[in-house]
Amino acid sequence: MRILVLSQYFRPEHFRVNDLVDWLVARGHRVEVLTGQPNYPAGRFAEGYGWSGPWTEQQGAVRVMRVPLLPRGAGGGLRLALNYLSFALVASLVAPFRCRGRYDAIFVHEPSPMTVGIPAAMLRWTTGAPVLFWILDLWPESVTAAGGVRSRPVLAALHALVRWILARCDRVLVQSQGFVPLLRERGVAAERIRYLPNWAEPPGAPQGGADWPALAPGFQVVYAGNIGASQDFGTVLAAAERLRHDPRIRWTVVGDGREAAWLREEVTRRGLADRFAVLPARPASAMPALFAAADAMLVALRADPLFALTVPAKVQAYLAAGRPIVALLDGEGARIVREAGAGAVAACGDPAALARAVLELAALTPAQRAALGEAGARYSARWFDRETLLCELEGWMSEAAAARGGPTDI
């Protein structure tokens, strides 16, 4: 099939859509990508990219078409909104001229913003190709939860925009079963909804120890990923304060994000620098070594009704890696960790419960913790196997193409 992938983010930005594109190419499909100039998470254009392009790249067998956008900068509300809108507007204007010919399917990757659905609707109209829209971040709920938007007129406008986008999708794919009732309320028929959870990407080649500093001795609770308001590091720090007199417990956070500077300042202000390390983001190829050094992997979200419906992608990554999990989660994410028997769970926003969960894992023997990791790996193989999920997606693409007249080639 000839497939167009529409995503505001793509390599060198690290998102799961990169792995999807590689898999589709390996399966023999012709894949093109329409995306923006890379600027996540630093907020400035990646080296070699900018206002002067490049506008077209050949990444192996994949033709990557880029459009200009305003970089996200420090990630403040106005700048972020302009980043989202600039991509949606420019992509909508140029897509009909850059994405020519017949496509069998248009796959839309939406980790946020949902405004990526605007150029998707334009492309569906100009090409006649079916749109499969993968919702990883549900709007407008996430705008309220993560962005703090409370204006009724703004939220009403976003509700209307979301309904307009969803009405122009042939298949709506959801990363969590918890999204389904909300989509049904917004007029999406059950037969158009498919469940596509995150899968664990294949690990990169481990990097040498010289590139990864040795973690401090003790029981290491490790977090790897975005450092933002949604991750509720206030509760994590409060739990660390409760455990500061336990010489075993160490915390290591690896990543970047809007709250990274604040987190470093708070660690110093609270006198936790000897127990709580905040390290810069590392490439995916460094993650196997980091995971192996951890005694427990931390996943955390702030208490919010939307987040209770969401399953953070790192849950699947930790399960597949076979590492014990300490989860500051409610709802779907908490259910999966408990059902897998892969670790300890604390309710969102409860530092005392998080401290107890950490102590619970620290009290286990290495063999007992290894058994938790093995249980998680078995659960991952059953429910989040990469090959199984992507083959299902490939089938849905073929199904949607057939409904529109059949694929150009298979």
Is it the case that residue 328 has pLDDT exceeding 80? yes
Q: pLDDT tens digit string along 195-239?
A: 999 998 765 544 444 455 567 789 999 999 999 889 999 999 999
Q: What is the mean pLDDT of the chain?
A: 93
State the pLDDT at residue 206: 47
**What gap in Å lies between CA 358 and CA 361, rounded to an integer?**
5
Residue 392: exposed, middle, or buried by beta-carbon count in 10 A (0-12, 13-18, 19+)? Answer: middle
Q: pLDDT tens digit string along 269-327?
A: 999 999 999 999 888 778 888 999 999 999 999 999 989 999 999 999 999 999 999 99
**What gap in Å lies between CA 56 and CA 74, rounded to an integer?**
27
Phi, psi (degrees; rounded to nearest 5) at 193: -100, 135
**What gap in Å lies between CA 368 and CA 370, rounded to an integer?**
5
The secondary structure of residue 9, as a DSSP letter, is -
Residue 54, preceding peptide bond in cis (omega within 30° of 0): yes
Mean pLDDT over 1-10 rounds to: 98
State the pLDDT at residue 210: 41
Is it the case that residue 268 has pLDDT exceeding 70? yes
C-alpha of 181 from chain center: 21
Q: What CATH class has 2-199+385-403?
A: alpha beta
Return the axis-axis angle of helices 16-26 and 386-403, rounded to nearest 10°.
Answer: 70
More confident residue, 243 or 144: 243
Name 33's bridge partners.
5, 64
The secondary structure of residue 229, as a DSSP letter, is G
**What gap in Å lies between CA 199 and CA 313, rounded to an integer?**
8
State the pLDDT at residue 207: 46
State the pLDDT at residue 137: 93
Please, which residues have CB within 8 angstroms of residue 81's CB and are 6 or more apart in sequence? none
Q: Tell if the pTM clears 0.85, that is, is over it.
A: yes
* Percent of the chain with pLDDT strictly greater than 90: 82
The tokens describing 136, both together, are: 């990883």
More confident residue, 364 or 152: 364
Q: What CATH class has 209-383?
A: alpha beta
R_g of the chain, CA atoms, integer Å: 21
Determine which of 2-6, 166-170, 291-295, 391-395 has the lowest per-residue pLDDT on average. Answer: 291-295
The tokens describing 291, both together, are: 């995971």
State the pLDDT at residue 204: 52
Q: What is the rounded end-to-end Cα distance, in angstroms, of the chain?
A: 5
Q: pLDDT tens digit string along 70-91?
A: 999 987 788 999 999 999 999 9
**According to CATH, where is 3.40.50.2000 located in the chain?**
2-199+385-403, 209-383
Neighbours of 112 (CB within 10 A): 19
State the pLDDT at residue 203: 56
State the pLDDT at residue 406: 62
Mean pLDDT over 139-147 rounds to: 81
**What gap in Å lies between CA 139 and CA 157, rounded to an integer?**
11
Q: Is the dihedral of CA 166, 167, 172, 177 positive or negative?
A: positive
- The vertex-312 CA angle with 360 and 346, nearest 5°, equals 25
Phi, psi (degrees; rounded to nearest 5) at 132: -110, 115
The tokens describing 293, both together, are: 């050094």
The secondary structure of residue 50, as a DSSP letter, is B
Written as one string, the DSSP assignment of 165-188 is HHTT-SEEEESSGGGHHHHHHTT-
**What gap in Å lies between CA 280 and CA 197, rounded to an integer?**
28
The tokens describing 156, both together, are: 């009403």
State the pLDDT at residue 217: 85
Mean pLDDT over 164-174 rounds to: 97
**What gap in Å lies between CA 324 and CA 326, rounded to an integer?**
7
Please, which residues have CB within 8 angstroms of residue 318's CB and are 6 or more apart in sequence? 291, 297, 299, 325, 342, 376
